[in-house]
Amino acid sequence: MITAGVDAGLMNTKIAVLKDGKVIARAAGATGGGGRREAIEKIWAEALKAAGADPSDVSGVAATGIGREDVSFAGKTIVESLAAARAARFLYPGATSVVDAGADQTRVVTLGEGKDITEVVLNQKCMAGLGLLLEVAADRLEMTLEEMSALGPETRDPIPLNDGCPVFAEQGALELLNKGVPKKEVADAVTDVAVVRLLSILNDKVRPGKDSTVLIGGLTKNAAVTERLKRCSGIDFLIPEAAEYGGALGAAVFAAEQNH
């Protein structure tokens, strides 16, 4: 049986295709703006081509993410926390929690027995958009996201930035640049803001297990963030291959469950 999951995020859409419990194809692309539905359909065509399948071969499609209602070919929808939970348990049956860190939102999901969820913690509204903060900062610094991701350990005293709001953090970074602070140090400071805010979400209610917490979402592509988060939190995160596709994978697993 072939099923697919679509994670229609704020800026990008990821699609994962499952066949008999194994991922056989992935596809992703930008979907921000008014043409989201058409962009998602184009990515869907790419995913089917990569899977060597026709639409009629797919038993079920489930969509998640902020743009899930724009996935015209999905028969089911699933909220992000449930998709994250399904992905975590599919990849790591012994997982006790999952952190889904994306461009817009970050959520911590505590897993119960079987498919149960015991708690969901979301970022405060004022701290939405950590992923976007890093993208905007990279653009302002004339650095690629890969260059920001490759930042090594901090080699200087921390430069304070407002960590209560991404907008203020971005303004603070611009002020530092105008004062002649080296780009790497400003990039370090922005990375620190992302880590501090992620830590505040992790510690909001129930501290996740140190060796049984899965980390998925677009921020996993930033090695500087994930390494500092590991060090500062003391959590040895389980980070799967293609972790940015976690939501899509969870949706595909959900679709498979619905078609049994």
Q: What is the pLDDT of residues 89-122, one digit of tens each?
A: 999 999 999 999 887 788 899 998 888 899 888 8
Residue 240 one-letter amino acid: P
Higher per-residue pLDDT: 103 or 38? 38
Across 226-247, average pLDDT: 94
Q: Structurally, what CATH architecture does the domain formed by 93-239 represent?
A: 2-Layer Sandwich (3.30)
Report the half-sphere exposure of 187 (CA within 13 A, side-chain side): 24
Within 127-219, residue ranges assigned H as helices are 130-140, 145-149, 166-178, 183-202
**Inter-CA distances, 159 with 34, 65, 155, 255, Å:** 38, 34, 11, 46
Whether 74 contacts 100, CB under 8 Å: no
Out of 159-163, 181-185, 206-210, 249-253, the most confident range is 249-253
Pick the CATH number of 1-81+245-260 from 3.40.50.2000, 3.40.50.1820, 2.40.50.40, 3.30.420.40: 3.30.420.40
- Among 48-62, 102-116, 209-223, 232-246, the range scoring the smallest mean pLDDT is 102-116
Whether 65 contacts 6, CB under 8 Å: yes
Out of 141-155, 180-194, 241-255, the most confident range is 241-255
Q: What is the pLDDT of residues 143-184, one digit of tens each?
A: 777 777 777 665 555 566 555 555 566 667 677 777 778 888
Q: Token match 């697993």: residue? A: 253
Angle ∠(82,48,53) on CA atoms, nearest 5: 110
Whether 170 contacts 133, CB under 8 Å: yes
What share of the chain has pLDDT > 90, as a percent?
50
Check residue 245 and give its pLDDT.
98
**Fold: same for 1-81+245-260 and 93-239:** yes
Check residue 200 and give its pLDDT.
81
Across 36-44, average pLDDT: 95
Domain ranges for the chain: 1-81+245-260, 93-239
Q: What is the CA radius of gyration of the chain?
A: 19
Work out the pLDDT band at 126, boundaries 50, 70, 90.
very low
Which backbone phi and psi does 92 adopt, to 5 degrees?
-135, 90
Which backbone phi and psi does 68 adopt, to 5 degrees?
-60, -25
- Among 48-52, 195-199, 235-239, the range scoring the smallest mean pLDDT is 195-199
Check residue 206 and give its pLDDT.
61
